[in-house]
Structure 1
Amino acid sequence: MGHIKPMLNIAQLLCHAGLQVTFLNTEHNHHRLTQLQQLSTHFPTLHFESISDGLPKDHPRTFDLTKDMVISFKSVTKPLFREMLAEYSRNSDLGSVTCVIVDGIMYSFANDVAEELGIRVITTRPYGACCLWSFCCISKLIEEGHIPVGAKEDLDQEIKTVPGMEGLLRRRDLPSVCRQPITDPLLQLFIEESKTMTRASGIILNTFDDLEGPILCHIAPLFPNVYTIGPLNALVKTKIGDDIISQCLSSSSNLLEPNHNCMMWLDSKPLRSVVYVSFGSIARVTRSQLLEIWYGLINSGMSFLLVIRGDMIEGVKGDDMIPMELEEATKERGFVVDWAPQEDVLAHSAVGGFFTHSGWNSILESIGAGVPLICWPLFGDHQLNSRWVSEGWKIGLDMKDTCDRSTVEIMIKTLMKHRREEIIRSMDRFSKLAHDSISPGGSSYNNLEKLIEDLRRI
């Protein structure tokens, strides 16, 4: 969902401007999106196609198996994609394809095919500029001996050679892939992608200039065009205009069915009294980790809304029951769902904090809603995001590389009570800047207009 949602937002914005868009997804995810017909009704120029990722139906497609997907994309999906683009040129009622906008993980093979056929390519990344820039610096960090980051290394050693992050970045804050051996296929993929993506005619980033301006200055020379048009979820609502329609459309990217009963529960809670806890759509945790977080929530004395997906807990057996004392305490001030309508939850007046895995969409949605964060990073860009949240932007706290009930309790009390005014001041500032960026005349609003104008010229 972290990739699909922003890509669908881009598609909606381009169609709203009158452009013809075909949204190409893997068959695996295409069949899990249940409201595509509703999108097509609102956007007549938006069309959907799917393509095989070459993996068996029962493949889990989890982050740790990304290398399986990458290998399969290149061997199976690449020739299928080439034939699909060629077929569009020969027979499609929509006309030939003039530009391909590619999600980062598929960039190499998609760019190769598009270049063969003389089609312009614009790349996107599902993470922020800070993480993108760190990936661009990986080769340099390897040369300097900072990567790989081993378990016995000094994880708090400062990294001074990533321009724009001096005084902030430590070894433990590097993206999780940097903890793998240098020969790891996934690490090599990111190195390769960082080099080849600059062949694109531009890059679309789900961020805004006032949030990551100093880092964007380092990225700008790498691309002919950098389109910062975030937060995308909020820009869609600004451009489309009708709040009811835009909220309805935002649910079309859900691969999981949200439980809306939690909204009625939130209605019964006082202002800014609830901690919302969710670790995204694919992250997995151990039963021990979940229990430590759960006990920490109980011991904090705060009300909480906890998301536990059916596939979230690793290695759970039928007899692994939740302790009775935990169940009883949760009945008093907690609410548990298997999935929540996150944007609606964050916008609710009862929610005062967000305990998150630090995914980029979650951070931007929290900034838009003005809800401060507790970050427990798990993989990918999470480690770097959490550092920027706590030390770069000072809009939350970082609980990296630890998970025990006493730390969770302290973090929640610090966010909701002891340092609340300080953190809220910073969050309010960035929330206003985010709103300004997507308003008429704002940087993201204007950058979207430039993107649309550039696409029309192709």
Structure 2
Amino acid sequence: MGKAAAPAHVLVFPWPIQGHLNAMLHLAVALAGAGVHVTFLHTDYNLRRLGAAAAAVASPWLRFMSVPDGLPDDHPRTVADLGEIGRSIRTAGRAAYRALLASLQLMPVDAAGGGFPPVTTVVADALLPFATDVAEEFGVPALAFRTASACSFLAYMSVPRLVELGELPFPPGGDLDEPVRGVPGMEGFLRRRDLPSPCRHHGANNDTAALLGRLVNAALHSSKARALILNTATSLEAPALAHIAPRMRDVFAVGPLHAMSPAPAVATSLWREDDGCMAWLDGQADRSVVYVSLGSLTVISLEQFTEFLSGLVAAGYPFLWVLRPDMVMASQSTTNLHEAVMAAGKNSKARVAEWAPQRDVLRHRAVGCFLTHAGWNSTLEAAVEGVPTVCWPFFADQQINSRFVGGVWRTGLDMKDVCDAAVVERMVREAMESGEIRGSAQAVARQLRRDIAEGGSSAMELERLVAFIRELVMPIQHAESEL
């Protein structure tokens, strides 16, 4: 018999914001559960922010390490700073990552690293293309993980074709409801307003045009990775996956990961969750509550806050609203905003939290619909629980996600580009009361549960991914034996 295969050790490197950490930690838990050693690479800032919560998921198979992001500790790291965060990671973060990867390659199995073997594979966020390049320079095979939807990834890949066809840039003052040609499989329903948000301003703003260029280049760069991992299911996004696959070396559709291998919520959240909202939900009737959360990055004006509040109150249902301290621009204190919500909702019909245990909230019997920013994690979490959604996308992939929710899967309503109390009221009522929307949402949920069950498409893709990662160890082993 031949020599036993060396153990696999995957370094997982996410873009350091909430939504990306969330999805990639679920993958890390899945790999560790399959007997693969995993090192999850935070930034120093985020690992300090998580504190002891990170230990909730650590195990003999999964550990946490960190590198600096290059920004001072008191930097706000808000959505307005994403460009600066990206530039800093591409410089200071890249250098620290290179040094760490080199040290992990030299570490013997029985070293002080807790018995972890040398790194055999890197799974890097697809928005960090340098991470795959550096890994391959060290002879370490690298995979790209795109934490957004397959449909948004395909849209970014299609931007060069959209430019060639004259679809981009949009003409000044052009009709955003104009159909878009050039994104394969979406010609029948995609409008200008449904493209990822940087497309909308392409040509009008140098910073936004530069952002679009980086996102497009990152998508195209994924073809250089050994494979692309997507947190989706074939049943949800088969057409997009079919158009992506020929342009990648391999594609793994392994979602929804939060339902297959959930990491403890406390370890995936940079915000402290308000568990008291669960007790409040316990006191509400079945499917009577509107859950409102616009994610970890969305920022709204005080006027938009007022329109949302007026619409929610007019809809007449109890509501649970997640209001982050940094969410409302030019506002009074968060306390004043919370008091305004409670007063408008007549106390018993409203509950405010700075952050909520969203997966628990969405599976609670009292929740009837979800007013969401249509981030991909939130979209998947609602889909798994069969909860109808009202989508108010903020930026990036959320615009196209909301179009699929309202126009393709028909599991909710698309409220993009409108923030009017009357529209909020009407759409919330429709999502709460429509048997057709609820039926579609529950049908999708049943299919997703089949996908993640043993023998389902996503479960089998995850098994194939683990086998693929183990196979990547063999060429490294062979090369070392020849030295």
Match in the other structure for 1:135: 156
Cα offset, 1:321, TM superposition:
4.5
Spell out the pairing of 1:333-348 with structure 2 (5 A cutoff): 333-348=349-364
* Residues 99 and 230 of structure 1: CA distance in aligned 2, closer, same or farther (over 3 Å): same
* Residues 292 and 432 of structure 1: CA distance in aligned 2, closer, same or farther (over 3 Å): same
Cα offset, 1:185, TM superposition:
2.0
Residues in 2 aligned to 1:226 and 1:215: alpha-carbon distance in whole angstroms:
12
Q: Report whether the alignment pairs 1:383 with 2:408.
A: no
Structure 1 unaligned regions, length at least 5: 238-245
Match in the other structure for 1:263: 278
Residues in 2 aligned to 1:74 and 1:284: alpha-carbon distance in whole angstroms:
25
Tell me which moved more, 350-359 or 51-60: 51-60
Among 289, 293, 311, the alignment partner of 2:308 is 293
* Residues 10 and 421 of structure 1: CA distance in aligned 2, closer, same or farther (over 3 Å): same
Residues in 1 aligned to 2:64 and 2:413: alpha-carbon distance in whole angstroms:
40
Q: Report whether the alignment pairs 1:48 with 2:64.
A: yes
TM-score of the superposed pair, with normalisation by structure 2: 0.88
Match in the other structure for 2:47: 30
Match in the other structure for 2:477: none
Q: Residue deviations 1:273-323, cap 9 Å, x none?
A: 110000111211111111110110001111111111111111224599559
Residues in 2 aligned to 1:210 and 1:4: alpha-carbon distance in whole angstroms:
24
Q: Secondary structure at the match of 1:13?
A: helix
* Residues 259 and 322 of structure 1: CA distance in aligned 2, closer, same or farther (over 3 Å): closer
Among 7, 24, 34, the alignment partner of 1:7 is 24
Match in the other structure for 1:409: 425
CA contact (8 A) 2:55 2:267 kept: no
Percent identical residues: 40
Among 435, 459, 481, the alignment partner of 1:445 is 459
Letter in 2 for 1:83: A
Cα offset, 1:166, TM superposition:
1.6
Residues in 2 aligned to 1:64 and 1:126: alpha-carbon distance in whole angstroms:
20
Residues in 1 aligned to 2:338 and 2:87: alpha-carbon distance in whole angstroms:
43
Residues in 1 aligned to 2:218 and 2:32: alpha-carbon distance in whole angstroms:
28
Letter in 2 for 1:49: M
Q: Report whether the alignment pairs 1:231 with 2:256.
A: yes
Q: Report whether the alignment pairs 1:430 with 2:448.
A: no
Cα offset, 1:70, TM superposition:
2.3
CA contact (8 A) 1:276 1:353 kept: yes
Q: Secondary structure at the match of 1:353?
A: strand
Q: Report whether the alignment pairs 1:251 with 2:266.
A: yes
Q: Residue deviations 1:60-109, cap 9 Å, x none?
A: 32334322122222221112211111111223532321110001221x21
Residues in 1 aligned to 2:140 and 2:334: alpha-carbon distance in whole angstroms:
56
Q: Report whether the alignment pairs 1:222 with 2:244.
A: no
Match in the other structure for 1:212: 237
Letter in 1 for 2:144: T
CA contact (8 A) 1:73 1:109 kept: no
Match in the other structure for 2:199: 178
Residues in 2 aligned to 1:200 and 1:351: alpha-carbon distance in whole angstroms:
41
Q: Secondary structure at the match of 2:427?
A: helix
Tell me which moved more, 29-38 or 164-173: 29-38
Cα offset, 1:325, TM superposition:
7.4
* Residues 185 and 457 of structure 1: CA distance in aligned 2, closer, same or farther (over 3 Å): same
Residues in 2 aligned to 1:340 and 1:264: alpha-carbon distance in whole angstroms:
12
Letter in 2 for 1:421: G
Match in the other structure for 2:413: 397
Match in the other structure for 1:100: 122
CA contact (8 A) 2:56 2:266 kept: no
* Residues 433 and 151 of structure 1: CA distance in aligned 2, closer, same or farther (over 3 Å): farther
Among 87, 91, 94, the alignment partner of 1:78 is 94
Letter in 1 for 2:147: P
Q: Residue deviations 1:319-356, cap 9 Å, x none?
A: 99559875433214111111111011000111000000
Match in the other structure for 1:16: 33
* Residues 325 and 63 of structure 1: CA distance in aligned 2, closer, same or farther (over 3 Å): closer
Match in the other structure for 1:328: 343
Letter in 1 for 2:136: E
Residues in 1 aligned to 2:248 and 2:261: alpha-carbon distance in whole angstroms:
25
CA contact (8 A) 2:224 2:249 kept: no
Tell me which moved more, 376-385 or 61-70: 61-70
Q: Residue deviations 1:384-404, cap 9 Å, x none?
A: 000000001100001110101
Query: What is the alpha-carbon root mean square deviation over aligned residues?
Result: 1.8
CA contact (8 A) 1:18 1:45 kept: yes
TM-score of the superposed pair, with normalisation by structure 1: 0.93
Paired positions, count: 443
Match in the other structure for 1:191: 216
Match in the other structure for 1:110: 131
Among 78, 91, 96, the alignment partner of 1:62 is 78
Letter in 2 for 1:287: L
CA contact (8 A) 1:133 1:219 kept: yes
Letter in 1 for 2:244: I
Letter in 2 for 1:282: L
* Residues 62 and 325 of structure 1: CA distance in aligned 2, closer, same or farther (over 3 Å): closer
CA contact (8 A) 1:208 1:444 kept: yes
Cα offset, 1:375, TM superposition:
0.1
Tell me which moved more, 183-192 or 438-447: 183-192
Tell me which moved more, 395-404 or 149-158: 149-158
Q: Secondary structure at the match of 1:352?
A: strand
Residues in 2 aligned to 1:270 and 1:197: alpha-carbon distance in whole angstroms:
47
Cα offset, 1:426, TM superposition:
0.9
Structure 2 unaligned regions, length at least 5: 1-17, 473-483
CA contact (8 A) 1:295 1:326 kept: no
Q: Secondary structure at the match of 1:446?
A: helix
